[in-house]
Amino acid sequence: MRLADFAPHAGANYAQKRNFDMGAGAHSHVSTLSPYLRMKVLDEGDVCRAVLDEVTAREADKFIAEVWWRTYWKGWMEQRPAVWTAYRDDLTRLHNEVQTQSGLRQRWEAACLGQTGIKPFDHWAQELVQTGYLHNHARMWFASIWIFTLKLPWQLGADFFLRHLLDGDAAVNTLSWRWVAGIQTQGKTYLADPSNIAKFTDGRFVGVQGLAAEAQPISAPSAPERQPISELPPYSGAPADRVGLVLHSDDIMAPFHDTLGITPVTTAYFDATAAQSPWQMSPMVAEFRTALLRDVSPDAVVLENDASLADWAAAHQLDHIIAPHAPVGAMRSVLRRWRKSGDTPITEVRREIDTAAWPLATAGFFKFRKHIPDLLSKFA
């Protein structure tokens, strides 16, 4: 519904107005589809197909490029999983520092509560907590002020986003924060500028004072060597096997059992997002996902922990479990653990679109972008 409403506006209107952040409840220049893409209720092919039914590829060029930015970040991270591991290690250390250093704790709390005295920043912190969404430009300004004006560690800001965004994504969020900090594109930072904020908030925040005047890149180790994306072993169950499907917080749809020729006898769902932060997730994220699950798979059994997976498999006498592939992030570790400790074999299945697109994220986005027409002809 949201996609159908937005599709006719994905051409010139989007290209001209997408950078304007009009505030909560008024984000009509952008699609706000990211939580659905994040949970894979929609994939990039679905979105581009709907848009290309309404406007030409030329008109939708900017929108289509943004949609594939997401894919690019996913593919980039998939080939450098150590970046996520390093972020998680940093976060564990910073969690400890926040507990033990009262100065850091107070500055971090003020930023998360929107009590810094920087009016637009405080507004965005509260908008994020109250709605689970921020406009892309607000995310850029917010991250820049967090890092360069408030001088807080970028990892704590990325964690704040990941706990509250309905579209919070291990790859897209981490790499976007790294990009603002000048780590992702070496030496290139993003500086929030008062006149740019005034213009693109349509005059809601004019004459913001006290922002950093420069943004020196944050020092960090260079990106690890790229490694090939792992091949997944094919499904090896027998035709008569009783198969269960586990949907999860990185793919709530898993539309592949038709192509595998399998009809699962039961479906379950597991949400791993609580494991991605040492702090509590926003309840809004869980509420959004529960509602989504009720829409897409109303009969799915919600698994609470590792033991409930074993109980579910035993109750349905499962010979085999299939699960959508878990990209870099919290769910990947859960599936690894289950595979090691469980009695029922688990086969992960990656979507064709990801198998085709992710390996193309070898270097910068502009190299990746050359493949978009080909990806569109295959998947849109």
Ligand X SMILES: Cc1cc2nc3c(=O)[nH]c(=O)nc-3n(C[C@H](O)[C@H](O)[C@H](O)COP(=O)(O)OP(=O)(O)OC[C@H]3O[C@@H](n4cnc5c(N)ncnc54)[C@H](O)[C@@H]3O)c2cc1C
We find the least distance from the C-beta atom of residue 298 to ligand X, in angstroms, to be: 25
We find the least distance from the C-beta atom of residue 366 to ligand X, in angstroms, to be: 14
Q: Is 158 exposed, middle or buried (0-12, 13-18, 19+ CB in 10 A)?
A: buried
Half-sphere exposure (Cβ direction) of 270: Cα atoms closer than 13 Å: 25
We find the least distance from the C-beta atom of residue 76 to ligand X, in angstroms, to be: 11
Kindly identify the residues of this chain, within the stretch 136-175, that bind ligand X according to CB under 6 A: 136, 139-140, 143, 161, 165, 167-169, 172-173
Kindly identify the residues of this chain, within the stretch 3-62, that bind ligand X according to CB under 6 A: 18, 30-34, 37-38
Kindly identify the residues of this chain, within the stretch 69-128, that bind ligand X according to CB under 6 A: 69-70, 73
Measured from the CB atom, is 162 or 309 closer to ligand X?
162
Give the integer Cα–Cα distance in Å for 170 and 327.
9
Would you state the torsion angle of the CA atoms of residues 193, 32, 14, 141, taken in this order, to the nearest 10 degrees?
10
Q: Which of 63, 136, 78 is closest to 372 using CA atoms? A: 63
Kindly identify the residues of this chain, within the stretch 290-349, that bind ligand X according to CB under 6 A: none
Measured from the CB atom, is 328 or 346 closer to ligand X?
328
Measured from the CB atom, is 31 or 273 closer to ligand X?
31
We find the least distance from the C-beta atom of residue 245 to ligand X, in angstroms, to be: 25
Measured from the CB atom, is 45 or 244 closer to ligand X?
45
Measured from the CB atom, is 116 or 184 closer to ligand X?
184
We find the least distance from the C-beta atom of residue 145 to ligand X, in angstroms, to be: 11
Kindly identify the residues of this chain, within the stretch 122-141, that bind ligand X according to CB under 6 A: 135-136, 139-140
Contact status, residue 51 vs residue 10, Cβ threshold 8 Å: yes
Measured from the CB atom, is 79 or 176 closer to ligand X?
176
Q: What is the separation of C-alpha 110 from the centre of its chain, rounded to a whole number of angstroms?
A: 25
Contact status, residue 20 vs residue 200, Cβ threshold 8 Å: yes
User: 43-66 b/e with 16+ CB inside 10 Å = b?
Assistant: bbbbbbbbbbeebeeebbbebbeb
CA distances 14 to 8, 49, 51, 53, 380, Å, are 10, 17, 12, 16, 19
Measured from the CB atom, is 164 or 350 closer to ligand X?
164
Q: Give every strand in the sheet of 301-303, ordered side by side.
A: 301-303, 266-270, 243-248, 320-324, 346-349
Kindly identify the residues of this chain, within the stretch 193-212, that bind ligand X according to CB under 6 A: none
We find the least distance from the C-beta atom of residue 86 to ligand X, in angstroms, to be: 18
We find the least distance from the C-beta atom of residue 257 to ligand X, in angstroms, to be: 25
| Residue 249 touching ligand X (CB under 6 A) | no
Identify the residue among 54, 61, 66, 193 touching ligand X (CB under 6 A): 66
Strand partners, 349: 324
Residue 167 DSSP class: T
Measured from the CB atom, is 124 or 256 closer to ligand X?
124
Contact status, residue 110 vs residue 116, Cβ threshold 8 Å: yes
Identify the residue among 60, 125, 180, 293 touching ligand X (CB under 6 A): 180
Give the integer Cα–Cα distance in Å for 276 and 170.
8
Name the strand (E) or helix (H) holding 268.
Answer: strand 266-270
> Residue count at the site for ligand X (CB under 6 A)?
28
Identify the residue among 177, 270, 312, 358 touching ligand X (CB under 6 A): 177
Contact status, residue 269 vs residue 303, Cβ threshold 8 Å: yes
> By the criterion CB under 6 A, which residues form the site for ligand X?
18, 30-34, 37-38, 66-67, 69-70, 73, 135-136, 139-140, 143, 161, 165, 167-169, 172-173, 176-177, 180
